[in-house]
Structure 1
Amino acid sequence: MKIAMLEPLSVSDEIIVELSKRLKDENHEFVAFDTVTRDVEELKKRAEGADALIIANNPLPGEVIKSLDQLKFISVAFTGIDHIDKAACVEKGVKVSNAAGYSNQSVAELVIGMIISKLRNLVECNTVVRQGKTKDGLVGFELAGKTVGIVGTGAIGLKTAELLKAFGCNLLGYDTVEKEEAKSLGIQYVGLEELLKESDIVTLHVPLIDETIGLINKDNLKLMKPNALLINCARGPVIDIEATAQALKEKKLAGAAIDVFEIEPPLPVDHVLFGADNALLTPHVAFATKESMVKRAQITFNNIYSWLEGNQINKML
């Protein structure tokens, strides 16, 4: 079989050589590309003749998928698969697996960092020190004792809850399915409206599906406390960006920390959130640590080996 890795996985060449060694030992053909492309014709060329593909988080259009007569499987080095044309995969009978769990710790840790940064005004403190000023106006808040609403109690939501519990937070949760593991961490499940009303901090950990697009919108932003913080390290379209920016500018929301947007960074210079000085913005970096990148590569290649053995794991399609 031919396996093509269409883009780099942000690990060393040595790791890729080690992980792909079994493919070569079993007489499979393995090709790897060390640059990213979004050019459809170039993607077709790279994937030509492949039985299985490895991709990360760059788009794989349906035009490419439909052009590959031998394609049977895609191993995605990412948690979400909304950057793949799923309809084309279903039409062609192509199976898809993701890299479930690779960034749970990384994302949860960034969420904690974002919350503390906002509560303790770390960005602003750095600025005033460099300007020769003092802490005047920058007295912050403790995380201990705060009520944190966790929207989405999957693996990342639960890891975040575990860290928040260590800080002494009160935990509320919202999800379509209540989990005993969540309850054992002290999460009290409530409806979304109650969670938004009662939380000092709301952190989002839901997948991007039809039901979660615009989950946090103009109407339910009004339910949040004016001194509350909103954290989004899930998917950009889960929140209404325009409405969120407006709430921040009008100080109807004390602050936000956002790692994901309606498009991938770089953002346009006139992006609506740039006008909200109480928003902490990061360039989709929550998943990106040295440790998580190695885990991601390992899971992605394990998906390939399991599929070759007739046992698809981390199945998404």
Structure 2
Amino acid sequence: MKIAVFSCKPYDKRTLSTCAHGTHLEMTYFESRLSMETISLVKDFDAVSCFVNDDVNSEVIHKLKEQGINTIALRCAGFNNVDLYAAKAVGIHVFHVPDYSPTSVAEHAVALIMTLNRKTHRSYHRVKEGNFALEGLLGFNLQGKTVGCVGTGRIGAAFCHIMKGFGCHVICYDIMPSQELIDLGCEYLDLESLYQESDIISLHCPLNASTHHLINSKSLAKMKDGVMIINTSRGALVHAQEAIDGLYSKKIGYLGLDVYEQEGAIFFEDMSSRIIQDSVFQLMLTFPNVVVTGHQGYFTEEALNHIAETTIDNLLNHQNGKNAPRQLA
């Protein structure tokens, strides 16, 4: 079975090659993303492996089918970048990695909270310059604060456990409440009540029609002044321009993003010597109370290994005609 691996960085190649060693899978690695511009690369392959910013729309799906591709193995949990209806219609099987060390993303959300709160990113640069003044670095105790978690799947649940350890009052919203979290002492509320009561709101839900631009001017109006918002899920959960308006009005006191709606043209690349052609993103970076990381929440040794193992397992099971519990289409 020949697999074209797209959006492949050196660390992906290392882990995938290790896991595929000794199998009948023949992996070819491409750093470029899968799109209509790169579709010609899939010639003579049986399957493709994609990541979060590959554009696997209906047109790409049909071209893949024409080229003889019968399998798409995603190396991520989310699948909003894949047209599953088109894949099902043409008979292409799609697999994903639903659980790749949820703790890694949850811990990164906490890292953003701590950085924004205690301003370690600013104090680091001050000390490097010999400036040991504390003015402007004032934070707050997390203990006793109300933390709202939107989405309590594996990652959201891991986040709730950590925040309970800080002594926070954790409130949650999910269409399927977790009895485990209720037993832990978390409280499930409707979304509007969560907005109204939270000092910190962390997003851990998938991107779909009901969650697109979940954070917008209307939802922000319901929140406390100075609220902290953290997004480690999908960029389009936050309306970037309206979040900037919230920063100007001080409705948002802190904003931590590991994802961004238009990240496909920016993230996972070294842009340090180029002009980033995104005025909204550039403006967001100018705020002292905003911290942006480049979709690195998942990026731990444990998570990378698990992603590679699950991806190879999905391909082998499909090749051997076994049951596919991680199949989406």
- TM-score, length of structure 2 as denominator length: 0.87
Q: Secondary structure at the match of 2:294?
A: coil
| Counterpart in the other structure of 1:63 | 59
Give the 5 Å matches for 1:133-148: 133-148=132-147
Say whether residues 1:35 and 2:31 are aligned partners.
Answer: yes
Give the counterpart of 2:96 among 76, 95, 98. 98
Relative to structure 1, the CA distance from residue 89 to residue 295 in structure 2 (aligned partners, 3 Å threshold; closer, same or farther) is same
| Counterpart in the other structure of 1:85 | 83
Relative to structure 1, the CA distance from residue 209 to residue 13 in structure 2 (aligned partners, 3 Å threshold; closer, same or farther) is closer
Give the counterpart of 2:301 among 282, 286, 290. 290
User: Size of the alignment, in residue pairs?
Assistant: 312
Give the counterpart of 2:114 among 102, 113, 116. 116
| Counterpart in the other structure of 2:192 | 193
Give the counterpart of 1:127 among 117, 125, 128. 125
Offset of residue 109 of structure 1: 0.8
| Counterpart in the other structure of 1:163 | 162
| Counterpart in the other structure of 2:272 | none
> Per-residue CA shift, 1:107-162, capped at 9, x if unaligned?
11111111111111212222332342411232211112211000001110001111
Q: Secondary structure at the match of 1:288?
A: coil
- The letter of the residue matching 1:44 is S
Say whether residues 1:268 and 2:293 are aligned partners.
Answer: no
Q: Secondary structure at the match of 1:231?
A: strand
Relative to structure 1, the CA distance from residue 91 to residue 292 in structure 2 (aligned partners, 3 Å threshold; closer, same or farther) is same
Q: Structure 1, unaligned stretches of length 5 or more?
A: none
Offset of residue 196 of structure 1: 0.9
Q: Is the contact between residue 143 and residue 166 of structure 2 (CA under 8 Å) also seen in structure 1?
A: yes
| Counterpart in the other structure of 1:8 | 8
Q: Is the contact between residue 4 and residue 30 of structure 2 (CA under 8 Å) also seen in structure 1?
A: no
Give the 5 Å matches for 1:41-56: 41-45=37-41, 47-56=42-51
Q: Structure 2, unaligned stretches of length 5 or more?
A: 268-275
Say whether residues 1:280 and 2:291 are aligned partners.
Answer: yes
Relative to structure 1, the CA distance from residue 197 to residue 12 in structure 2 (aligned partners, 3 Å threshold; closer, same or farther) is closer
Ranges of 4+ aligned residues in structure 1 off by more than 6 Å: none
> Per-residue CA shift, 1:238-281, capped at 9, x if unaligned?
12211111111221221111111111125535224234332111
Relative to structure 1, the CA distance from residue 130 to residue 83 in structure 2 (aligned partners, 3 Å threshold; closer, same or farther) is same
Relative to structure 1, the CA distance from residue 19 to residue 84 in structure 2 (aligned partners, 3 Å threshold; closer, same or farther) is same
Q: Distance in 2 between matches of 1:96 and 1:9?
A: 22
Q: Is the contact between residue 44 and residue 64 of structure 1 (CA under 8 Å) also seen in structure 2?
A: no
- TM-align CA RMSD: 2.1
Q: Is the contact between residue 6 and residue 43 of structure 1 (CA under 8 Å) also seen in structure 2?
A: no
> Per-residue CA shift, 1:157-185, capped at 9, x if unaligned?
00111111111111100011112122122
Q: Secondary structure at the match of 1:137?
A: coil
- The letter of the residue matching 2:215 is I
- The letter of the residue matching 2:49 is I
Q: Distance in 2 between matches of 1:298 and 1:55?
A: 15
Q: Distance in 2 between matches of 1:256 and 1:220?
A: 15
Amino-acid identity (%): 29
Say whether residues 1:313 and 2:325 are aligned partners.
Answer: yes
- The letter of the residue matching 2:114 is I
Q: Is the contact between residue 34 and residue 50 of structure 2 (CA under 8 Å) also seen in structure 1?
A: no
| Range with greater deviation from structure 2 (68-77 or 217-226) | 68-77
| Range with greater deviation from structure 2 (152-161 or 76-85) | 76-85
Q: Is the contact between residue 37 and residue 43 of structure 1 (CA under 8 Å) also seen in structure 2?
A: no
Relative to structure 1, the CA distance from residue 13 to residue 236 in structure 2 (aligned partners, 3 Å threshold; closer, same or farther) is closer
Offset of residue 9 of structure 1: 5.7
Q: Distance in 2 between matches of 1:161 and 1:283?
A: 23
Say whether residues 1:213 and 2:212 are aligned partners.
Answer: yes
- TM-score, length of structure 1 as denominator length: 0.90
Q: Is the contact between residue 35 and residue 60 of structure 2 (CA under 8 Å) also seen in structure 1?
A: no
